[in-house]
Structure 1
Amino acid sequence: MTSPDVAWPRPAGPLELRTPTRAALEQVLTWRNRPEVTRWLLRTTVDPEAFTTAWLDSVEDPAQHTAVAVIDGTVVGTGSLHVQDGMGQFQGDAWRGSEATLGYLIDPAHAGRGYATDIARALLGLAFTELGLHRVTAGCFADNAASWRVMERVGMRREQHGIRDSWHEELGWIDGFTYAILAEEWHRAS
């Protein structure tokens, strides 16, 4: 069941983040598999029904916080936080459910308007203010400057630059970046 501490919908700049519905995901699927969207994704094209089922199932999963980003009735993007265990010694349990992986995606027709930054900022607020997480990470291909600029704008720091650690179907082995932010860093900057 969805965490009782998480209220939807929620603001994200001019956007509203809502839990996914079949109708909203149908809007997402009008652009999700387009080449300009899949170019920098690890999971390129998706089966529409499997994609819809996974996103609808995520609504009831307390480790998943997925949303569609809406403005003026149009879905312009998606965002997600996947809560997971951090690294820790088995004697304690502070590390259990202490981290999340952040994801965001924007319809190319609405790119360049700061919406990815709005989504990321709202989800980091959820992670640190309502869920009480310790750390959030995100990754991207190093050549995906639009994505790593979003991470930097929301206060995440580059923690890893992997040399040719990421496989890209068109480009072969290319560099990848991992970014992170801690709760105390988020609260200090907010």
Structure 2
Amino acid sequence: MTWPRPAGPLVLRPPTPDGLDQVLAWRNRPEVTRWLLRTEVDPDAFRSAWLSTDDPHSHSGLADLDGVVVGTGSLWVRDAMGQTQGDAWRGAEASIGYLVDPAHAGRGYATAIAGALLELAFAELGLHRVTAGCFAANTASWRVMEKLGLRREQHGVGDSWHAELGWVDGYTYGMLAEEWRGRPGG
């Protein structure tokens, strides 16, 4: 994978201890964790996981704006569903995730990060399909997905546990490589 990589006005770069300290300054705040599955992270475990380079299926970076880390982006490659004859389904799919510091929200950075992750998945890694999910009430997140052309594939009614809200609806979005190539600018 090529680092650093452009993401609109941002640059996605590999994680560093200093960059992760910048993320940890806002990562566990309630306005950030409200829509995350992992609501709080231990700083030492967080640093260790992000700095580990053992997993060839994990591609995570920090979103940098002139030396300030304003977000994160992650892509996890996995096997698609497939029959055992052949192996085209092995490592053919990925899921993406993105997070933006609330101080920098509303500027299109999540869209830029997610767009760069799609570029990585389809143009560089040659994957067949990418998915992303969110709580249905996380309007900002699903708007990013729709803006980038991902299709809402699943609306799970009461399928997601939220610590404050109880059982809530969840969305899953997806995009195929040919859809990415066929979009304007693709």
Q: TM-score, normalised by structure 2?
A: 0.98
Q: Is 1:104 the equivalent of 2:98? A: yes
C-alpha distance in structure 1 between counterparts of 2:147 and 2:50, whole Å: 27
Q: How many residues align?
A: 184
**Where do 1:2-41 residues align within 5 Å?**
6-41=1-36
C-alpha distance in structure 2 between counterparts of 1:178 and 1:118, whole Å: 19
C-alpha distance in structure 1 between counterparts of 2:2 and 2:151, whole Å: 28
Helix, strand or coil for the counterpart of 2:11?
A: strand
C-alpha distance in structure 2 between counterparts of 1:24 and 1:61, whole Å: 20
Match of 1:142 among 126, 133, 136: 136
Report how far residue 7 of structure 1 moved: 1.1
5+ residue gaps, structure 1, are: 1-5
Helix, strand or coil for the counterpart of 2:25?
A: coil
C-alpha distance in structure 2 between counterparts of 1:158 and 1:7, whole Å: 29
RMSD (CA atoms): 0.6
Residue type of the partner of 1:81? L
The match for 1:78 is: 72
Report how far residue 60 of structure 1 moved: 3.9
Report how far residue 61 of structure 1 moved: 2.1
Query: Identity percentage over the alignment?
Result: 72
Residue type of the partner of 2:134? C
Q: Is 1:92 the equivalent of 2:86? A: yes
Over residues 40-59 of structure 1, what are the superposed CA-to-partner deviations in whole Å (9 max), with x where a residue is unaligned?
A: 000000000001100111x3
5+ residue gaps, structure 2, are: none
C-alpha distance in structure 2 between counterparts of 1:167 and 1:149, whole Å: 21
Q: TM-score, normalised by structure 1?
A: 0.96
Helix, strand or coil for the counterpart of 2:62?
A: strand
Over residues 2-52 of structure 1, what are the superposed CA-to-partner deviations in whole Å (9 max), with x where a residue is unaligned?
A: xxxx11001100000001011100000000000000000000000000011
